[in-house]
Amino acid sequence: MNYAPTIRFVVFDLLNDLQQIYDDSKLSPFKVFFWVMTFADRLRYQHVVKSDTGAFVYKFHVDVEVDSVTGRNFFTLPAAIYDLENDGGVQYITYPPEYDLSLPMFASTSFTRTSPEKAARLYYRSEECPSPSNPYFYRQNEKIWLLGCEEINLLHLEVGLKTSLAVADPLTDIDLPLDLPVHLLPVLKRQILDIGRFVLSIPVDRVNDGTSFDSKVMPTNKITSVNDIDQTQQNNE
């Protein structure tokens, strides 16, 4: 099992490195926390897109609701997910066999992804028509709509979601493990050191305090580009 450092460890490791370079800077842990979570989530998204892995697929049990206007079943996403092509952030949706007596007890019924514009034609072909044994889903923002299970009194579902980093509060969540592959930590550190060096090297608004302005404080080395970041990640993977 890979060692997962806490978010606090990563934040203060980077803060210490940046303060060694700019010892008079007023860089706060909150700003570094924001950088860490933003860049870590981007790296994890890239890893999920490139890798056919279940490392970041999390299982949830959700309650099914009924829309009061249309009578359609739906559930609300229990967590933020990656916006992948063909709604790939929803890995699977299933319900247990007691809703479909034709299935063996160890099986479950899986939903097939569709879209609102494609869903209408499904009802014109018997082999594609939504039914309890052939259900579909489509996504609209945070709601997942369910087709084919309107008449089986569906109450609960199991869903597998490719979730994004859900850490939001630097005061309460900073001691959680950073949910990122360990081999991507050097890439994360390089990105944040680059952005930190750039931000700290921009001259602040000057006041007439008698101090001189040193034009050499601007960075002379190249800041990492997006292409450099992607290439570095590929090399580390």
Average pLDDT by stretches of 10, the chain with 237 residues: 79 86 71 91 93 88 92 94 93 77 63 92 89 93 93 89 82 87 92 82 55 46 50 55
Look at the chain and report how many structural domains it folds into: 2
pLDDT at 143: 96
Residues 69 and 126 reside in one and the same domain? yes
Residues 91 and 45 reside in one and the same domain? no
Q: Are strands 112-113 and 109-110 parallel, antiparallel or unpaired?
A: unpaired
- Contact at 8 Å (CB) between 226 and 174? no
pLDDT at 215: 43
Residues 130 and 146 reside in one and the same domain? yes
Read off the pTM: 0.75
Q: Which residue has the tokens 């890979």?
A: 2
Asked if residue 109 belongs to a domain, the reply is yes
Q: Which two tokens stand for residue 76?
A: 């609300």
Residues 43 and 109 reside in one and the same domain? no
Asked if residue 210 belongs to a domain, the reply is no
Asked if residue 228 belongs to a domain, the reply is yes
Residues 186 and 223 reside in one and the same domain? yes
Q: Which residue has the tokens 């997942």?
A: 144
Asked if residue 98 belongs to a domain, the reply is yes
Residues 12 and 33 reside in one and the same domain? yes
Asked if residue 208 belongs to a domain, the reply is no
Residues 138 and 180 reside in one and the same domain? no
Asked if residue 131 belongs to a domain, the reply is yes
Residues 62 and 104 reside in one and the same domain? yes
Residues 20 and 73 reside in one and the same domain? no
pLDDT at 22: 61
d(CA 84, CA 135): 21
Residues 61 and 48 reside in one and the same domain? no
Residues 171 and 154 reside in one and the same domain? no
Asked if residue 91 belongs to a domain, the reply is yes
Asked if residue 151 belongs to a domain, the reply is yes
- Contact at 8 Å (CB) between 156 and 63? yes
- The three-state (H, E, C) secondary structure of the chain, written as one string: CCCCCEHHHHHHHHHHHHHHHCCCCCCCHHHHHHHHHHHHHHHHHHHHHHCCCCCCEEEEEEECEECCCCCCEEEECCCCECCCHHHCCEEEEEECHHHCCCCCCCCCEECEECCHHHHHHHCCCCCCCCECCECEEEEECCEEEEECCCCCCCCEEEEEEEECCCCCCCCCCCCCECCCCHHHHHHHHHHHHHHHHHHHHCCCCCCCCCCCCCHHHCCCCCCCCHHHHHHHHHHHC
Residues 158 and 172 reside in one and the same domain? no
> Which range of residues forms the domain containing residue 105?
57-162
Residue finishing a domain among 162, 181, 208: 162
